[in-house]
Structure 1
Amino acid sequence: MLEASRRAADIAMAHFRQDPEVWYKDNGRSPVSEADIAIDRLLHDMLLAARPDHGWLSEERADTADRIGRRRVFIVDPIDGTRAYVSGRPDWCVSIALVEDGRPVAGVLAAPARGEVFHASAGGGAFLNGVSLARDTGSEPGARLRIAVPEPVARHMSPEAVASLDNVPAGPSLALRVAAVASGSLDGVFIRPRASEWDLAAADTLLGETGHVLFDHRGEPMAYNHPDPSRGLLLAASRAQAPGLLAMLEPSDGH
């Protein structure tokens, strides 16, 4: 997976800031570049050649029911943050995850324009550029939490709850936002509904190895390889902070 991410990063950087060809899907809302397609092809061919018994789920490839019956599934976003990528901003990444029985067991996020590579494996720790990420030890008593709260989520919180947090602007790559929780740059990230498994699986592996969790609004941990890969509201945070942050959502919220 690391070798595949390096080759994918080379493709991405060859097109980056070179005016790549771009198409739009989802009624014109979501850009897809020629680099997305080339990286998807590389990852699909390289990873499944190595593990032909594994299933496959990618943002840029038609989904099939075949993956549902597989114990192990690769879940890939060739470029997470394509809108930033095509506009020449550096906050995007190649996201590669391996899921086993619905849980992420290995993940790589390669962000070459930022000079960053995150990777993690279940029980093997999490790393940024080869340096081990520390496990969460909790925030200082009374410290304000640095949380990314998208506006659609903030509308379901009281003004007092929002004011009690240092609301950090969300970057264009959801995977890198979640990785920032694992690395300690953020205390938490609320994730608006309709995020997909390919946005989250690799970064979720980092969370699991640093004492953090990815919960839905009911406090249930994220599970993968569902027939529908999209999700409702989610929260990435430390195990200690997650219950209090989820409690900030209004009881009448319909997530």
Structure 2
Amino acid sequence: MHQSSPMSDADLAAAIAEGAGEILLGIRHRDLLTGHLVGDVGDAMAQAWISTVLRRHRSRDAVLSEEAEDVGDRSVADRVWIIDPLDGTSEYSMGTSDWAVHVALTVDGEPVAAAVSLPAKGEVFRSDEVPVADGPLTGRLAVSRFGHSYHSAAVADRLGMDTVRIGSAGAKAMAVVRGDADAYVHSGGQFEWDNCAPVGVALAAGLHCSRLDGRPIVYNNPQPYMPDFIICRPEISEAILDAVASPW
């Protein structure tokens, strides 16, 4: 019995993502804190609250978080919460809306309950309730606010896609889930907490999620570095995989 409270994993993930978002919005209240200071306080306070909630409600589960030291035998545990208390700290510090909170439970390396909140937009996406992404294609590719990576440029060129610049990883992934973009192609290196919850929500929405070479994405690795991945509409997944395999 892993649960120490009756709340389901899906409900807990969503409640944590929403609650941490409310805390982060409060920290930005009336710009009493700004710049790097608001980002540092946001990271620390969101992490403290989330870790305390998980100890209270899932005391037997392991946790991997961007803002906590990765210690112990986390990588051999079957149930692991992978957390990013504040995805897009720079966007949050600048006062924009393109930042997120990521909460995911993985079982044997697979996200089984995931939630991504975009607090400044008032949105929470949860894997047990997200609708299937089946609207018309937009022809848009979500990219970093700094522009293309090598592989995303190849995809845009090969498929004739327009780009939309979005801040954090969670915000880019949820643009695809929401139907505002058709794909998010990343090859600049991330860590598991940057994309685990977004991938969990995207998979539940029926989207294609894989590494650039088409392999499935597996979480809770001993080294949590995640160099690349694709989140896209399934009807263009083969074309995107072809484009990143032979970008020249």
- Conserved in 2, the CA contact under 8 Å of 1:153 and 1:190? no
Change (3 A) 1:156 1:65: farther
Partner of 1:238: 233
Change (3 A) 1:167 1:4: closer
Separation of aligned partners in 1, 2:230 and 2:95: 29
Separation of aligned partners in 1, 2:100 and 2:202: 17
Higher strand share: 1
- Conserved in 2, the CA contact under 8 Å of 1:193 and 1:231? no
Change (3 A) 1:53 1:176: same
Separation of aligned partners in 2, 1:155 and 1:213: 16
The answer on 1:53 being equivalent to 2:48 is no
Partner of 2:120: 113
Paired residue secondary structure (1:223): coil
- The alpha carbon displacement at 1:10 in A equals 2.4
- Conserved in 2, the CA contact under 8 Å of 1:79 and 1:92? yes
The answer on 1:153 being equivalent to 2:150 is yes
Moved over 6 A (4+): none
Separation of aligned partners in 2, 1:207 and 1:90: 20
Paired residue secondary structure (2:225): coil
Partner of 2:49: 42
TM-score with structure 1 setting the length: 0.82
Separation of aligned partners in 1, 2:35 and 2:67: 15
Change (3 A) 1:105 1:155: closer
Partner of 1:6: 18
- The alpha carbon displacement at 1:167 in A equals 2.0
Paired residue secondary structure (2:216): coil
Partner of 1:130: none
User: In angstroms, what is the RMSD of aligned CA positions?
Assistant: 2.4
- Conserved in 2, the CA contact under 8 Å of 1:20 and 1:33? no
Unaligned runs of 5+ in 2: 1-11
Separation of aligned partners in 1, 2:79 and 2:118: 25
The 5 Å alignment of 1:1-255 reads 1=12, 2-16=14-28, 17-20=31-34, 22=36, 32-121=39-128, 125-126=129-130, 133-136=131-134, 139=137, 145-149=139-143, 150-154=147-151, 157=154, 160-161=157-158, 164-169=160-165, 171-249=166-244, 251=246
TM-score with structure 2 setting the length: 0.84
Separation of aligned partners in 1, 2:16 and 2:155: 44
Separation of aligned partners in 1, 2:84 and 2:157: 36
Paired residue secondary structure (2:115): strand
Change (3 A) 1:69 1:114: same
Separation of aligned partners in 2, 1:18 and 1:135: 39
Change (3 A) 1:50 1:155: closer
User: How many residue pairs align between the two structures?
Assistant: 231
- Conserved in 1, the CA contact under 8 Å of 2:127 and 2:205? no
Change (3 A) 1:64 1:36: same
